[in-house]
């Protein structure tokens, strides 16, 4: 009965969110808020202090993890799947764009939740009804998924583009977590489950760990933050968490702490490559449903209180490879100070002066803990685009603004930005716009891409048969005189036509007109393709984001 009530309530609350997000970008839709009762755990420990991690076992305080993109994550784990090279590029891109659309809905729903239903009677009703599920905690967990489960569903895993492998507990149990700069709480599926989706690795069992702790209602961490709702269960007095996502996916369970062990790719001074972070606050998920197929859960890296990055107390960096060009290579995720972070073992020591830094916007009380920066202009070649970016600034409603995001595949731009960018590139490169919806292009161009054209190999647009010389560079201009120059593979994507290899598209999505009066949606989202081959440093202590042009594949290989 409890679960039935929750599902019905989710449908109703999702309808309310759908109404609230009608005025967002054309991709925006609903978000559901739910909370639930807690589960069994060991006696409570103090979680008020900053997470402990042994930096003596890291390289100058930096820990580098292999960052795997979804097309090769199962292969990297030694599981039998179809190699990415054998998959059709148009289908891979179409799937990634479909996931990104769900991602955009989620990011916008966080803004809505910040100013919408958090303190409403509707939210309180959902919390009360969700607590009725306590009696179902002892339900048996599902079977482990097949190795190919992560890749089988075209639009599965909204926002799950990159993953890391960690170990939880003592003795350690391996988990595969989606890396998400747009979420606060880290969580994993736990046994026993009310409902769990299929995942590649065995489900984490807290009863097998001596370091697992579940919080009770008196713990100061049992409160509401931007990215996660925490409530007390009505059953045993333990603290429950809930997190919801814009595609209808959600998770709830016990707010807990555990030891997270990371295997660093950087050799440590003591000879050990394993670094343990103790008493990390996370969610032990008892009811998890939606588009998380394959992973064990999520590693939250936003600016919130419960974020893994915040708890680690250090900056973090990542360096994303060109995943379509080098599909079998891994990227890198590094935790460490801004003066000792890097892309991988060969680039672990990067001084702050090596980065071009722009400030993170102060979003306290105004927007959720996403990585907002100020985009002040775009230049194509030598042409400054006539765009009024002041109209897209972060507004008092929490909408607008520009974010750097790990979970969106390609950048989403409002029509006011997309169309001038498209026109300038086509004009300067002297390219003819193809009608993507008309044959024969409709059978080749991935859904969601609108600006496509032919780049004949014999023309001046190509160099050495593959590298471009005619596409003008696109320069993103951020506050603080920070100019980030995007090259060929950050600007266009393809080829999509087997044999001739001449069909390319702009690697941006037109998200439609930015609504006025001030929108409650994020205006610009900088996605993975535009971040590829940049070492990006999130310097939390100094509230800034740094960029350094880097060959991420070479750095990771080193």
Rounded to whole angstroms, the Cα distance separating 392 from 239 reads 39
Q: What b/e readout covers 438-452, taking b as 16+ CB neighbours within 10 angstroms?
A: eeebeebbbebbbbb
For residue 544, the 8-state DSSP code is E
Contact predicate 452/445, CB 8 Å:
yes
Phi, psi for residue 135 in degrees, rounded to 5? -65, -15
Q: What is the DSSP letter of 551?
A: -
Is 180 one of the annotated active-site residues of the chain? yes
Total residues belonging to the chain? 558
- Which residues lie below 8 Å from residue 138, measured CB to CB, with a gap of 6+? 192
* Residue indicated by tokens 């994020």: 522
Catalytic pick from 180, 226, 302, 539? 180
Please pick, among 31, 226, 250, 405, the residue that the annotation labels catalytic: 405
- DSSP codes, 253-317: EEEEEEEEEEE-SSPPTTS--EEEEEEEEEEEEEEEESS-TBSSEEEE-SSSTT-HHHHHTS-EE
Structure tokens at 171: 């003795």
Q: Which residues contact 121 (CB under 8 A, 6 or more apart)?
A: none
Task: Scan for tokens 């020591």, then name that residue.
Answer: 349
In whole angstroms, what is the distance from residue 104 CA to residue 509 CA? 11
539 catalytic? Reply is no
* Residues with active-site annotation: 180, 405
């Amino acid at each position: 009965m409890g679960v039935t009530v929750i599902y019905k309530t989710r449908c109703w609350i999702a309808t309310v969110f759908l109404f609230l997000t009608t005025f967002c970008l054309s991709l925006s839709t609903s978000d559901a808020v739910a909370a639930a009762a807690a589960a069994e755990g060991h006696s409570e420990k103090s979680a008020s202090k900053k997470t402990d991690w042994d930096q003596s076992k890291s390289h100058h305080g930096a820990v580098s993890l292999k960052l795997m993109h979804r097309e090769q994550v199962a292969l990297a784990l030694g599981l039998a799947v179809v190699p990415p090279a054998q998959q059709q590029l148009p289908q891979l891109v179409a799937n990634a764009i479909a996931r990104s659309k769900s991602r955009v809905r989620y990011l916008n729903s966080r803004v809505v939740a910040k100013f919408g239903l958090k303190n409403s009677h509707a939210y309180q009703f959902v919390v009360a009804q969700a607590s009725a599920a306590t009696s179902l905690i002892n339900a048996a967990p599902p079977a482990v998924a097949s190795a190919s489960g992560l890749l089988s569903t075209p639009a599965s895993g909204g926002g799950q583009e990159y993953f890391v492998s960690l170990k939880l507990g003592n003795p350690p149990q391996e988990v595969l977590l989606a890396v998400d700069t747009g979420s606060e709480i880290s969580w994993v599926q736990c046994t026993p489950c009310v409902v769990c989706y299929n995942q590649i690795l065995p489900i984490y069992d807290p009863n097998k760990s001596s370091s697992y702790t579940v919080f009770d209602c008196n713990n100061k961490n049992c409160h509401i933050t931007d990215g996660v709702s925490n409530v007390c269960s009505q059953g045993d007095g333990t603290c429950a968490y809930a997190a919801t996502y814009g595609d209808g996916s959600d998770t709830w369970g016990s707010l807990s702490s555990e030891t997270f062990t990371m295997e660093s790719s950087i050799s440590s001074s003591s000879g050990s490559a394993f670094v343990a972070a103790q008493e990390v606050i996370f969610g032990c998920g008892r009811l998890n449903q939606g588009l998380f197929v394959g992973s064990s859960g999520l590693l939250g890296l936003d600016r919130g209180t419960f974020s893994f990055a915040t708890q680690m107390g250090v900056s973090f960096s990542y360096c994303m490879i060109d995943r379509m060009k080098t599909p079998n290579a891994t990227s890198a995720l590094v935790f460490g100070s801004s003066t000792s972070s890097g892309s991988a073992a060969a680039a672990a020591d990067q001084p702050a002066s090596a980065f071009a830094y722009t400030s993170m916007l102060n979003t306290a009380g105004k927007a959720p803990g996403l990585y907002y920066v100020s985009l002040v202009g775009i230049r194509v070649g030598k042409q400054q685009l006539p765009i009024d970016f002041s109209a897209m600034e972060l507004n008092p409603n929490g909408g607008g603004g520009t974010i750097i995001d790990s979970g969106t595949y390609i950048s989403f731009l409002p029509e006011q930005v997309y169309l001038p960018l498209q026109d300038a590139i086509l004009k300067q490169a002297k390219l003819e716009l193809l009608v993507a919806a008309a044959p024969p292009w409709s059978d080749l161009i991935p859904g969601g891409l609108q600006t496509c054209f032919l780049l004949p190999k014999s023309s001046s647009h190509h160099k050495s048969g593959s590298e471009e010389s005619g596409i003008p560079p696109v320069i993103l201009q951020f506050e603080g005189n920070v100019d980030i120059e995007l090259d060929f593979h950050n600007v266009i994507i393809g080829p999509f036509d087997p044999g001739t290899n001449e069909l390319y598209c702009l690697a941006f999505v037109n998200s439609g007109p930015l609504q006025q009066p001030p929108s409650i949606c994020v205006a610009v989202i900088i996605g993975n393709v535009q971040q590829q081959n940049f070492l990006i440093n999130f310097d939390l202590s100094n509230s800034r984001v740094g960029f350094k042009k880097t060959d991420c594949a070479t750095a990771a290989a080193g």
